[in-house]
A and B are shown apart, each in its own frame.
Chain A
Amino acid sequence: MPEVAFESMEGSEQLQSGKVSEQLSIAMPEWLSQQWETLKHDQAALYTTIAVLFVTLLTLFIVTRVTFKRKKSKTVLLVGLNGAGKTALFYQLRDGTTHQGAVTSMEPNADTFILHSETSKKGKVKPVHVVDVPGHPKLRPQLEELLPKSCCLVFVVDALDFMPHVRAAAEYLYELLTNKEVVKRRIPILLTCNKMDKITAHSSNFIKGQLEKELNKLRKSRTSVSAADVSSEISLGVQGEVFNFTQCSNKITIAEVSALTGKVEQVEQFIREYV
């Protein structure tokens, strides 16, 4: 049967081929072969049939494509280093509590939910799709697959234990800021300083300053020195000026939160702004 069907396609393109129609009339049921006979005589009808079929398929294809795409880029990504508090933030946003704490993630946490603070709200509230990307460097390749679907990024930084990890954090941020996808679609980033409930936590201004400084250094070592290195990388900020976040094409805002105590309004606001 499949062979016959295939040939019928070809036959319809060439239009006159008695052999094919003969084969068809044998293989097809009675009424279909009758239809075929009439179609063969009336060429205009044949053309219209094909045209209608073609148009229907095309529209179907486009419609599915569009809906699929729109669905695609509605994801909020929680990224950041290992131990910054992404998983805690994820559950804080979803359930309003961090449960009994978290350990290093081995897989992304993903869920579509209505933000916990909005569950009591009346009226229709749109659910958000949030993905918590593991921070361990070995699991970082997973981010590449998730970025095309994202609409905004929440970069979580550990404000308490910040200084020992400043270089690693800056490196991660650099990778994000020079990522093709991020730059092309200008994905907004929220720089989230987590663990602000602790007394010894650094202030967001300090963290911002330190990160800018580190990024500036990184930019130097990656662009001017290794210009010959894989040049697909996009340069960061304005050349010849000291780097700061306002130079980025995408919007970068900064927030102070505490996933543990539930002070996450700024993240919620940010998410609502872009979803």
Chain B
Amino acid sequence: MLEQFLIFTRGGLVLWSCLEVGKALKGSPVDALIKTCLLEERAGDSSFQYDAAGAGYTLKWRFHNELGLVFVAVYQRMLHLLYVDELLEKVMREFSILFVPTRTVYHDFDDTYRQLLKAAEANSHFKRVGQHRHIDNPRKGSESQARNAQTGRKSDKSAGKSSGSNDDGADEDGEADGSKFGPVGYSNGTGNGHANGNKANGLGSTKSGRSSASGSSSDEDSVAHKTSSENAFDVSKLAKLRNNKSKKATSGMEGPKGTSKDDAVSKKPQKKNRVWGDAPPPSKLDFTDPVSVDQGDDGVDIAVVEKGLSLMDKDDDDESFRVEDMMVEVEKENGGKKAASKKGWLTSLVQSVAGKPALEYADLEPALKIFKERLMTKNVAADIAEKLCDSVAASLVGKKQGSFTRITTTVQAAMEESLVRILTPKRSVDILRDVHQAKEVGRPYTIVFVGVNGVGKSTNLAKVAYWLQQHDIKVMMAACDTFRSGAVEQLRTHARRLQIPIFERGYEKDPAVVARDAIYEAKRTKQDVVLVDTAGRMQDNEPLMRALSKLINMNDPDLVLFVGEALVGNDGVHQLTQFNQKLADLSSTSSQTQSIDGILLTKFDTIDDKVGAALSMVYTSGAPVMFVGCGQNYTDLKKLNIKSVMKSLLT
């Protein structure tokens, strides 16, 4: 059974809700849905799982963008309710007739809802029985559907005449639904179809909508009869949808490679403009200091680095990551032409002047495809580009398009908005403040750097240390990479150059124990921050991942920083999900699972404008990009400039 059905505006006001009597929901699944799913641009997903203490819910939802409504159904996860999608569609159709923007109470919707629910339940029962037959022959199904619709209409009329006064007005509702709400049913039902096939289908869907509405109000027998037609229609629609999808996928492969090349060519001269901090004199480039080469730490001279401010502290408006808007215009022009060429120029002209009544998926598709390809050329992981486009589509379908705007412009605006929303951190990323918080309590703030091999964990650890040191924070390094040869020495060199204490226990030790001792030591010597360096590991290496999980669970660090290269493409998503997953799975105590809190993006200076990795990583993990490594010096650590990333992604 459905636990709850909720209708609310995008502003958050609940318009109508149906909670099964005596069953209060555990936790707040709807708020969780909005926060973790809809606001993170995952609205393209089909369902959302919510876990509360002692209950697991599945949530499904639909948007009505024209009216700004959201429909959410909540049910127990154990029950696989097949009719929820259908019910959502139907309720959406019915409710949008009733909806008046100024009205806030819809008690009269109760009856309609109950009928719809009953019909949907009966339907799903029938579906389970008759599924195979219909899958075999979709065309036959749609034929029979048309026939059924005809009979349905007849019976509807007769029912309306004979028992119009007896029924509680639901009949009139049904009629009104069929006739008035034709166009919306059309856009919802077969939005995926081609423009040509659309009309025929749309007709069919409105008919079936009418037939089902009438069926629900008349006797049970005809319900079963007509719902079969509905079912057949659904199946044929599914097949069509699948065809479309595969088509989309294949055409997606043949992207406009020419444009991407153009991009690269026109971007090249820009690279020269980069401002390289305060470039050190050539002599300083040689970092090996001659004295320390021969045996270690015996009080020899120490070359202390003095290189001015870390780039973290400089104004972010520095030109190095600025992208000119010129390319946007050019691409926009291209996109517009492509989109327009699908339809006759006259219709597109008329539409551009008058404004389209409501956007359909078919309208958006060409523009979305362009954006998806563009994102992928910018090194965004493929499935993430896809999900993002789906989410943007979900937020646009049914919306009114203003006059004198092209679809590409509309999509671009929606895309920009959602990109900014994704990249904006959920919580504050002020490490300095957290450090001070910890200092007040009297414990060291611990940061663990994790990541795969060779992404630059140690180097960026040193950069972070330098940045913290600039802010009068006492930093200690802990060499917990007890695996790779030379790792401890490398860190020791950094420590000496920065004049930072280092905690080391040599090789072949358990890194978890080393980290624990380091934290004790830091507490004893009153250090503010402990930076824990770990060995690089591939995300699929089970034993090493277990060791990492142990280290993290044992020491409970304040911040687990995932270090990832900006060069990474599709694998970045895999890395992050695996790291997060393993940390959760392999933790011994199930009470509090640590996960990745932040991302440090390295080698950002090597990727020009292909900044897609930042988006992929943030989208998969939900963790913000806290630092960006953009060079070889200690000062080359930056904050992520969200606007510039967004711009370079969409150019």
Partners in one complex: yes
* Interface contact A103-B424, CB-CB below 8 Å: no
* Interface contact B105-A103, CB-CB below 8 Å: no
* Interface contact A107-B10, CB-CB below 8 Å: yes
* Interface contact B426-A103, CB-CB below 8 Å: no
Identify the closest chain A residue to B642 (Cβ).
A141
* Interface contact B421-A104, CB-CB below 8 Å: no
| Interface membership of B13, Cβ < 8 A | yes
* Interface contact A91-B13, CB-CB below 8 Å: yes
Quick check: which of A149-157, A224-232, A258-266 contacts chain B, the rest being far away? A224-232
Q: A106-B34, A139-B39, A171-B428 are in contact. Are A221 and B11 (CB under 8 A)?
A: no
Residues of A within 8 A of B554 (CB): none
A209 to chain B, nearest CB (A): 17
* Interface contact A221-B433, CB-CB below 8 Å: yes
Quick check: which of B309-317, B336-344, B507-515 contacts chain A, the rest being far away? B309-317
| Interface membership of A40, Cβ < 8 A | no
Digit string of A138-174 for contact with B (CB within 8 Å is 1, else 0)? 1111000000000000000000000000001001000
Residues of A within 8 A of B433 (CB): 217-218, 221-222
| Interface membership of A101, Cβ < 8 A | yes
Residues of A within 8 A of B8 (CB): 102-103
Interface residue ranges of B440-465 to A (CB < 8 Å): 440
Residues of A within 8 A of B105 (CB): 99-100
| Interface membership of A197, Cβ < 8 A | no
CA distance A82 to B316 in the complex (A): 29
Digit string of B310-336 for contact with A (CB within 8 Å is 1, else 0)? 001101100000000000000000000
CA distance A225 to B435 in the complex (A): 11
| Interface membership of A108, Cβ < 8 A | yes
| Selected contact of A109 from candidates B12, B421, B425, B440, CB within 8 Å | B12
* Inter-chain residue pair count (beta carbon < 8 A): 106
A121 to chain B, nearest CB (A): 21
Residues of A within 8 A of B430 (CB): 171, 221-222
Interface residue ranges of B413-446 to A (CB < 8 Å): 420-422, 424-428, 430, 432-433, 436-437, 440
Residues of A within 8 A of B607 (CB): none
| Selected contact of B12 from candidates A87, A138, A217, A222, CB within 8 Å | A87
| Interface membership of A212, Cβ < 8 A | no
Residues of B within 8 A of A141 (CB): 420, 424
Residues of A within 8 A of B155 (CB): none
Q: A109-B11, A139-B39, A226-B471 are in contact. Are A104 and B31 (CB under 8 A)?
A: yes
Residues of A within 8 A of B424 (CB): 137-138, 140-141
* Interface contact B10-A105, CB-CB below 8 Å: yes
Residues of B within 8 A of A218 (CB): 433
Residues of A within 8 A of B15 (CB): 99-100
B258 to chain A, nearest CB (A): 35
Interface residue ranges of A79-131 to B (CB < 8 Å): 82-83, 87, 91, 95, 99-109
* Interface contact A103-B30, CB-CB below 8 Å: yes
* Interface contact A137-B427, CB-CB below 8 Å: yes
* Interface contact B16-A100, CB-CB below 8 Å: yes
| Interface membership of B179, Cβ < 8 A | no
CA distance A136 to B472 in the complex (A): 33
CA distance A245 to B546 in the complex (A): 50
Majority SS of interface residues in chain B? mixed
| Interface membership of B76, Cβ < 8 A | no
* Interface contact B11-A108, CB-CB below 8 Å: yes
Interface residue ranges of B15-32 to A (CB < 8 Å): 15-17, 30-31
| Selected contact of A100 from candidates B14, B39, B316, CB within 8 Å | B14
A223 to chain B, nearest CB (A): 11
* Interface contact B436-A220, CB-CB below 8 Å: yes
| Interface membership of B405, Cβ < 8 A | no
A175 to chain B, nearest CB (A): 9
CA distance A176 to B17 in the complex (A): 35
* Interface contact A221-B427, CB-CB below 8 Å: no
* Interface contact A225-B13, CB-CB below 8 Å: no
| Interface membership of A132, Cβ < 8 A | yes
Identify the closest chain A residue to B41 (Cβ).
A138
| Interface membership of B104, Cβ < 8 A | yes
* Interface contact A137-B426, CB-CB below 8 Å: yes
CA distance A139 to B418 in the complex (A): 10
* Interface contact B436-A103, CB-CB below 8 Å: no
| Selected contact of B471 from candidates A171, A217, A220, A225, CB within 8 Å | A225
Identify the closest chain B residue to A98 (Cβ).
B13
* Interface contact A168-B427, CB-CB below 8 Å: yes
Identify the closest chain A residue to B471 (Cβ).
A225
B107 to chain A, nearest CB (A): 10
* Interface contact A229-B313, CB-CB below 8 Å: yes
B619 to chain A, nearest CB (A): 12
* Interface contact B316-A230, CB-CB below 8 Å: yes
Identify the closest chain B residue to A172 (Cβ).
B428
| Interface membership of B68, Cβ < 8 A | yes
| Interface membership of B35, Cβ < 8 A | yes
* Interface contact B10-A230, CB-CB below 8 Å: no
CA distance A171 to B472 in the complex (A): 22
* Interface contact B471-A102, CB-CB below 8 Å: no
A157 to chain B, nearest CB (A): 17
* Interface contact B17-A228, CB-CB below 8 Å: no
Identify the closest chain B residue to A82 (Cβ).
B35
Residues of B within 8 A of A91 (CB): 13, 104
| Interface membership of B470, Cβ < 8 A | yes
CA distance A159 to B42 in the complex (A): 32
Digit string of A197-240 for contact with B (CB within 8 Å is 1, else 0)? 00000000000000000000110111001101110000000000
Residues of A within 8 A of B316 (CB): 230
Residues of A within 8 A of B472 (CB): 225
CA distance A87 to B12 in the complex (A): 7
* Interface contact B12-A228, CB-CB below 8 Å: no
Residues of B within 8 A of A109 (CB): 9, 11-13
Residues of A within 8 A of B30 (CB): 103-104
Residues of A within 8 A of B159 (CB): none
Residues of B within 8 A of A225 (CB): 432, 436, 471-473
* Interface contact A138-B39, CB-CB below 8 Å: yes
CA distance A91 to B432 in the complex (A): 39
Residues of B within 8 A of A137 (CB): 424-427
A178 to chain B, nearest CB (A): 13
B63 to chain A, nearest CB (A): 10
CA distance A136 to B14 in the complex (A): 18
Q: A100-B17, A221-B432 are in contact. Are A106 and B12 (CB under 8 A)?
A: yes
B37 to chain A, nearest CB (A): 11
CA distance A221 to B8 in the complex (A): 41
| Interface membership of B38, Cβ < 8 A | yes
Residues of B within 8 A of A139 (CB): 39, 421
CA distance A225 to B430 in the complex (A): 12
Q: A99-B13, A141-B420 are in contact. Are A104 and B35 (CB under 8 A)?
A: yes
A234 to chain B, nearest CB (A): 16
Identify the closest chain A residue to B428 (Cβ).
A171
Interface residue ranges of A33-91 to B (CB < 8 Å): 82-83, 87, 91
Supply 8 further A-B pairs (C-beta < 8 A) apart from A106-B70, A222-B433: A99-B15, A100-B105, A103-B31, A137-B427, A140-B424, A228-B470, A228-B471, A229-B312
Closest 7 interchain pairs by CB?
Answer: A105-B12, A109-B11, A228-B313, A107-B10, A104-B34, A221-B433, A100-B14
The contact sample of 13 A-B pairs, CB cut-off 8 A, is: A99-B14, A100-B14, A101-B14, A102-B13, A103-B8, A105-B10, A106-B39, A107-B68, A138-B426, A168-B427, A221-B430, A225-B432, A225-B473
Q: A residues bordering B, Cβ < 8 Å? A: 82-83, 87, 91, 95, 99-109, 132, 134, 136-141, 168, 171, 217-218, 220-222, 225-226, 228-230
Q: B residues bordering A, Cβ < 8 Å? A: 6, 8-17, 30-31, 34-35, 38-40, 68, 70, 104-105, 309, 312-313, 315-316, 420-422, 424-428, 430, 432-433, 436-437, 440, 470-473
